Chain A
Amino acid sequence: MGPLVTDHWYDLRDLSNISREILEGIDKVAPSEVAYIVAPVLGFVAFFLIFVLPSQLIVGVYGERRIIGRMQARRGPNRVGPFGLLQPIADAIKLLQKEALTPKTADRAIMWAAPIFFVAPAVLLFATIPFGPRMIFADIPVALIYFIAISALPVLAAFMAGWGSNNKYSLYGAMRVVAMSVSYEVPLVLSLLAVVVFSSTMSLQGIVLFQADVNLWLVFMMPLAFLIYFISVSAELNRTPTDIAEAESEIVAGYLTEYSGMKWGLFYGMDIGYALAASAFAATVFLGGWSMWGLEEWVPPWMIFIAKTHLFYFVFIWTRGTLPRLRIDQLMAFAWKFLLPLAVFNLFLVSLERLLWVENDIGDGIVFAFAAGNLVASAAAAYLWARLLGYRPERIPTKPRLVREAGGYVPVEGQTGGGE
């Protein structure tokens, strides 16, 4: 984009240079159909090497378990290879060896097809994510709707898994998946609608360019939309504070109860894939994508983008490692009574500002004033609406009642430490 990034193939700041060189080379020696086929394969391999392999295997499987272990004062995987780094590979080998059982009463066709239908959309999701100014598979004008549309598909796969297993717990899990996704889809789409209204484009590359243009990431512009997106998407992805669809304390493993071996492994691996896709989407839409106030001229933009993706993904791991699981009725009420009104409020606020900005021909600097105003208005709206609904902060940890009755912990005679 900028003058600093060159078109030479060795300029790693824009990997599209290499692929263009390769394709032009092929075009000279082979018929055009070959280049037609090589182009997507090349993109897929590059995407696998720079994103899937490091992110999904190292950060996704290994890093997540290590970080959660750290948060819960455990060690996490640390035996296989240096620092336990080979643990994901050992896990994969173990899963491949295991038998994939199918219950006698299960609907074999549906149970067999469910993992396939679960994996395919995870790959499709990345097609429209811009990794750099020119590093994007398909720059379609409706990329944002494409993303929402494709994210609706895994829900059906999870339902198929639950129904096909012919197990009560699986069916409960499947019902919960569908109910959750129907409820949380509404605030999710409304928060993204605010983004579309403000940046006046549905192309993900367009949204990134808009953020680079006004020098303000949309997370500062509309913190409420970001928050709603995060909560809704973690509910849709079944991440732990909201993973009631596979809550092991209630319904064994939900829709995964009857799955074993690599069939289960596909669900598990793609759960991480979807979480990474949602993080990549959030990094693009809310965190400025590959742009970083001019730093993208020096550092490869795709590295900035991947770093932002992992930053968002870390928050996923963080909430997963620290928050207790919620009940289904709490989650439903929260979506409809709290998130939905706030999403509508945010949409109203942002549309109003967009209208003021465009109609009155004010300079781009006004967005910083809007951002400050939005922060205050969002915090106030969230606080007031929570008070109105009767959510009160609980003073935790409270002492257990018996201890309180006894007047505090009593130290044991003759021992040092302990007590209060």
Chain B
Amino acid sequence: MDGAGVGIAFWALAFVTLGAAGGVMVSRNLLHAVLLLIVTFIGVAGFFVLLSAEFIAMAQIVIYVGAIAVLMLFAIVLTPRTIRDNSETAMVGPAILLGIALGTVFLFVIYDTEWAVVASDPALSAEDLGKALLSTWVLPFEIASVLLTAALVGAIMLVRTSEEEAEDDA
């Protein structure tokens, strides 16, 4: 994809995504932080669209915005101390240090990589992705689903009360 619109879209998306990501860090209100995080997710999906990876973009929105963000909202609503908001903690210093270290690593990787420019559309369609997942990468794919099922069962086991256990045994 190229043209005047793509350039405008790129800078607009970059502005919105980075601005929202900054807001997530700065915001004192926990719910504001989550909502800004959602904006960041949508912005990243926009970048995938600009890279002609529509399927990944849609998956990004379905999984991160539709599922994970809603889960986070659930967690916030069910947490009694949400009202208390974010305050200064002892972890601010280490967090900044870690952020700088990670950023440095990323920058080194970005500048050291020889980026090959693909002339035509990469054409990674959803079909190719599906075929790859169910042929070459079928084992990791299935292991991931087993892991998720185990996590689901574990979560249900954790939240069961003793009364419910007794109800089932009877």
Contacts and interface: CB of A to CB of B under 8 A. Distances in A.
Contact of A156 (B3, B29, B65, B74): B65
Contacts of A181: 70
Interface string A154-186: 011001100100000001001100100110010
Contact of B58 (A33, A110, A142, A178): A142
Contacts of A150: 61
Interface string A176-209: 0010011001000000000000000010000000
A324 to B, nearest CB: 29
A149 interface: yes
Interface string B13-56: 00000000000000001011001001000000000000000110
Interface residues of B, number: 23
B144 interface: no
Contacts of A174: 77
Interface in B66-118: 66, 69-70, 73-74, 77
Given A156-B38, A156-B70, A159-B73, A142 B32 contact: no
Contacts of A110: 31-32, 35
A140 B54 contact: yes
Contacts of A152: 61-62, 65-66, 70
Nearest to B63: A149
A58 interface: no
B125 A155 contact: no
A329 B65 CA distance: 26
B55 A142 contact: yes
A159 B54 CA distance: 27
B15 to A, nearest CB: 18
Contacts of B126: 141-142, 145, 202
A141 B130 CA distance: 14
Interface string B122-153: 00011000000000000000000000000000
Contacts of B58: 142, 145-146, 148-149
Interface residues of A, number: 28
Contacts of B159: none
B144 to A, nearest CB: 18
A160 B4 contact: no
Contacts of B4: 33, 36
Best-surrounded residue of A33, A107, A146, A148 (most CB of chain B within 10 A): A146
Contact of A142 (B54, B73, B74, B77): B54
B5 interface: yes
A329 B126 CA distance: 37
A160 B70 contact: no
Nearest to A171: B77
Given A36-B4, A110-B31, A202-B126, A149 B61 contact: yes
B54 A141 contact: yes
A285 B127 CA distance: 20
Interface in A118-168: 140-142, 145-146, 148-150, 152-153, 155-156, 159-160, 163
A290 B19 CA distance: 43
A178 B61 contact: no
B31 A163 contact: yes
Contacts of B3: 36
A11 to B, nearest CB: 30
Contacts of B38: 156
Contacts of B31: 107, 110, 163
B66 A185 contact: yes
B12 interface: no
Contacts of A145: 55, 58-59, 62, 126
A376 B135 CA distance: 35
B65 A149 contact: yes
Best-surrounded residue of A107, A150, A152, A171 (most CB of chain B within 10 A): A152
Given A145-B55, A145-B58, A178 B66 contact: no
A406 interface: no
B34 to A, nearest CB: 10
Nearest to B42: A153
Given A141-B125, A182-B70, 15 more contacts: A36-B3, A109-B32, A110-B32, A141-B126, A142-B54, A142-B55, A145-B59, A148-B66, A149-B61, A149-B66, A150-B61, A152-B66, A153-B65, A159-B73, A163-B77
Interface of A: 33, 36, 107, 109-110, 140-142, 145-146, 148-150, 152-153, 155-156, 159-160, 163, 171, 174-175, 178, 181-182, 185, 202
Interface of B: 3-5, 29, 31-32, 35, 38, 54-55, 58-59, 61-62, 65-66, 69-70, 73-74, 77, 125-126
Return the 5 tightest CB-CB contacts between A and B, nearest first: A152-B66, A149-B61, A145-B58, A149-B62, A149-B58
9 contacts: A36-B5, A110-B31, A141-B55, A142-B55, A145-B62, A149-B62, A156-B38, A156-B65, A178-B70
